[in-house]
Structures are given as structure tokens and as C-alpha cells.
Structure 1
């Protein structure tokens, strides 16, 4: 643990903060990095995500999901992309910025232990879930092909939610499926930030180009985190696809329904998991690499100004 705390990646992080005490420029750059990288990754990987979503809802093979989208027509292929573009941009902003702020609060001068990284990641995931769950809810309704006629646009879904009472807007509308979202996001953030630096620092010691450890670290973390939490991802997709005032199944009933419709087999729960893992690996690999690159550029500019 001591070696990890003083590793190259953490040393860069500590020195950057120490050079500009009280200033927000580094933090602003981290917020901007998360926004831009997540926006780009979401746009590039959205077709994969939509195929995966159809698998999660209908328990179909990849070829069947692709054929279903093809029959619907190309005009619907990017249907539902606006909510994830906005939510993922905000997600990157909140995730990296909030994590860094919380980590500084827990350990202002460092070194940052595994416990510090885990706690900051967990809390940043909670903030992310509270802020972004409504976006994911709208996105999942839009991507469900069974609801295209009734809800042809984002506005039609918002109109439906806003027709409910205050509690209905929250429990049946914007925050439907919130508890599994909270568990997924908080645990996912904690896992990602806890093991990102150790993996990256271990690879950096092998003399690889500086961007390779960051890319591999993000990809590995994204893959492992997605693999562990995939059942929650499926549960969220199924819960958030329900809409209306009809009797919605509870969290436990929804989990039982997913388990039963998948033939009570874990393998069928993970149907579509390969594409989810691929998308997660690409997304988090790019995000981590870009974040590390901008962090290094920021440090270089400060050193030049100091000299």
C-alpha cells in the first residue's frame, strides 16, 4: 500500500495539487475532460448499446437484435441518443470532478489510501445516481421498440411523467428503478477509482509509452466492473422500460421476473454481456487515457510558467 501511494500516477496527482493550492483550474480541467471524453465515447458506442438494450429487454441473440433494428429502419437507429449524450456528458463531469473534490476533502495532502479512493468513489457514484437517473429512465423508454407508437419522442415521455402527482413523478416516473441504479453506480465508481491507479502504476513501471498504462487500466477496470455489475444493469433496463399508472412490479418482483424469464440461468442473464463489456472497455479506456493526458499537459504548463 505504501508503494502504491507514492507511485508515479499518485505522485503526479499530489504534485499538481500542491503547486496550485486554492486554485480551481486543475479541477475545472478535470470536469471538462470528463464531459468531452464521455460525450465522444457515448456517440461512438451508442449503436452497440442499443443492440445490448434490446437483448436485455427481449432476451434475444445479437443477430436477432440487429435484425429487429434493421426492420425498424435507419431513421430509428439513433432514436434515444439525446438523453444518453446529455446524461453521459454530465456523468463524466460529475464523476471525475466530484471524485477529486471528495478525495481532497478526505485526504487534503495525501497520500491517498485504498480506503480514501473507495469512499470517494462510492460517494461520487451516489451523486451521479441522484443527478442522472431521470436521464437514463427516459432513454430506456425511448429505446424500447414496443413503445414507439405511444411515445414517439422525449417530449411525449416527459408529458406523461408530468401528468402524475408529485410522488408519482418520482416513484413511477423519473426515478423508477432508482435503488438498483444507486447500487450499480456507487459500487461501479468505487471499484473503478480504487483499482485504476494501482493497475496504471504497475504498467508504467514496465517502461511503456505513457498513454498505454492509462488506456489499459481504464479498459481493464471498465471490463471487470461491468462484468461484476451486469445483472444490475439488466434489472435497471427492465424496470425502467415500464411506464404508466398500471401496477408496476416492485424491485423484488422485477428481479424475480428477470430471473424467471431468463430460464433461471445465470448464462442467460448475461446475454448481451459481451457487447456491454466491449463498449465499457472502449469507453473507460478512452476516458482514462484522455484524463491522464490532460492532467500531464496541465502539469507541464505549470512547470513552464514556474520556470
Structure 2
């Protein structure tokens, strides 16, 4: 089978060597493919995301988180979907596009080593954190059920942040919790891109259907990355849901508060972790599979035109 002989990572390396004149076109395409794949996976997995967020904030079981959403009514179920939809679409754009650009800069002719993939993933994660942290901040405030009366809309949150002044609006408003976001995103991207192609290429040699290697690669990467970084995910959710510049706790105070409220037990920090793993597995599995499918279709169309 052709997919077995030319897995996605190898195809990209081949195109980079053989078609230097089309490099800018491929970079533009990488941004577009990342946007579409992340948009689709976000729409499909938003219900899981909202249940997980309630667990992270209130430290409750899955059943209680679902009951909270049911009590609030269907009109609030998709409250907060627009920020993650926008942020995840931009995330895919930045993540895949920046990764491709940096990777080709580090190794223009290929093959791309583990170190190259790790560095490119790390840099793409940094770009993602800088650009998207404000959107995640607004999203987390919107999804906190305790703040629905005070902040009924995105505009009300933005007015609150802008009232802090320029520096306060950035440090305590839009970029609240930025440092754990930076660590989480950069390490997560580096892990994902470092092992995505090796897993996918290895499975492609087993004669599996063409969509299975990409799906499994995304599922495995999403699960492992989320499991490792889950304490940072909980810390970010709690820091970014906090409003009120007069009593804004520091990073260390926030981490200590999360640890204390979870009874100083690691397994309580991981409450909601099972759903996070499921959500991350499904999200990154779908994202990787959709991205791989679109990438192959685009490449096939280009070959047909040539």
C-alpha cells in the first residue's frame, strides 16, 4: 500500500527536499489545516470539556458536575463555547503552522531529528501561550457557574479587566496564570510533536487502514501529555477563574491553595483526571486524524494537478 511506503512525516520531508519552490505554499497550507482540524474536534468534544472544567473548579464527581449543568438548564449548556472555539481554531493555526515553519528552518532538507521536532514543538507552544492565554482566561471565567450573575457576558468580563489599568489589565486580567500556561503549552506541544510521527509511522507499516495510525497516535499522545501535565491544568483553571485585583493571590499562593483544598492528596488533585484523559484522547485523536486526512487529500490534489 502507498500509505505504508510513504507515511505522513516522510511525505512532508520528501516534499521539502523535492519542492523548495513551493515551500511558502506548504507553510500557508499548514496553518489552514491546523485551523480546520482543531475547529472540528472542538465542536465535537465541548460537552466533555465543560464537565471536566466543573470538576477542576469544584472538586466534584462526574455525576455532580453533570447535575450542575442540568440544573442550570440547556440555555447555559453552551455558554462559553465561543472563546474555546476561537482559541482552539487559532491554537491549531499557530501550533501546526509555527511548528512546520520552525522545523523547516532548523532542518530545511530533512530528515527531522527528535531534537528538531522537540525544539519546533516547544517554540510553537510558546507562541500559542502568548497569543491565546487571554482567550483561555475569558473562557474560564465564563464557564465558572459562580460568576454567571456578576459576569453574564464576555463584554462584562472585558470591562472588568480594562478597569484595572494597562499593566493590571495584562498581569491580573488577560494574562492571569500565564506562567503555568506557558509551561503547560510548551511542554505539551514538544511532547506531542516529538512522538506523533514515530508512532504514526510505526503503525502505518502494520498494514492498518490509513486513518488508524493518525487516530491512535493522537489518542496516545493526548493521554500521556494530559496525564503528565494535569496538575498544571488544574492550577491554570483555578487561577484564571479568579476575579478581583484587590485580593489576587500569587502563583505560589494559588498552588498552595489548590493543594490544601484537595486535602494535600495527589489523587484528589487528579479528580476529574479520567474525563480529562478521555477528552484529551478524543480531541487529539480527532485532531490528528482530521489533520492527516486533509493533508493527504491536499497532497493528492496537488499531485493530480501537477
Q: TM-score range by the shorter chain?
A: over 0.9
3-state DSSP of counterpart to 1:80:
coil
Q: Distance in 1 between the 2:7 and 2:46 partners?
A: 34
Matched residue, 1:3: none
Give runs of aligned pairs for residues 17-166 of structure 1, distance below 5 A.
Answer: 17-23=16-22, 24-166=24-166
TM-score (norm 1): 0.95
Give runs of aligned pairs for residues 266-285 of structure 1, distance below 5 A.
Answer: 266-285=266-285
Please state if 1:11 is matched with 2:10: yes
Q: Distance in 1 between the 2:305 and 2:42 partners?
A: 35
Bigger mean CA deviation after superposition, 159-168 or 129-138 = 159-168
Deviation at 1:26, TM superposition (A): 2.0
Deviation at 1:250, TM superposition (A): 0.7
Deviations 1:60-91 (A, max 9, x none): 01111111111111111111111111000000
Deviations 1:209-241 (A, max 9, x none): 111101100111011101110000000000001
Gaps of 5+ in 1: 1-5
The answer as to whether partners of 1:16 and 1:299 remain within 8 angstroms in 2 is no
Bigger mean CA deviation after superposition, 190-199 or 276-285 = 276-285
Q: Distance in 2 between the 1:57 and 1:300 partners?
A: 46
Gaps of 5+ in 2: none
3-state DSSP of counterpart to 1:22:
helix
3-state DSSP of counterpart to 2:291:
helix
Please state if 1:263 is matched with 2:263: yes
The answer as to whether partners of 2:87 and 2:132 remain within 8 angstroms in 1 is yes
The answer as to whether partners of 1:188 and 1:225 remain within 8 angstroms in 2 is yes
Deviation at 1:254, TM superposition (A): 0.6
Deviation at 1:290, TM superposition (A): 1.7
Matched residue, 1:234: 234
Deviation at 1:22, TM superposition (A): 3.4
How many residues are paired up? 301
Q: Distance in 1 between the 2:303 and 2:42 partners?
A: 34
Q: CA RMSD in A?
A: 1.3
Q: Distance in 1 between the 2:236 and 2:142 partners?
A: 14
The answer as to whether partners of 1:227 and 1:277 remain within 8 angstroms in 2 is yes
TM-score (norm 2): 0.95
Bigger mean CA deviation after superposition, 269-278 or 233-242 = 269-278
Bigger mean CA deviation after superposition, 279-288 or 125-134 = 279-288
Deviation at 1:198, TM superposition (A): 0.7
Q: Distance in 2 between the 1:38 and 1:9 partners?
A: 18
Give runs of aligned pairs for residues 146-295 of structure 1, distance below 5 A.
Answer: 146-295=146-295
3-state DSSP of counterpart to 1:168:
helix
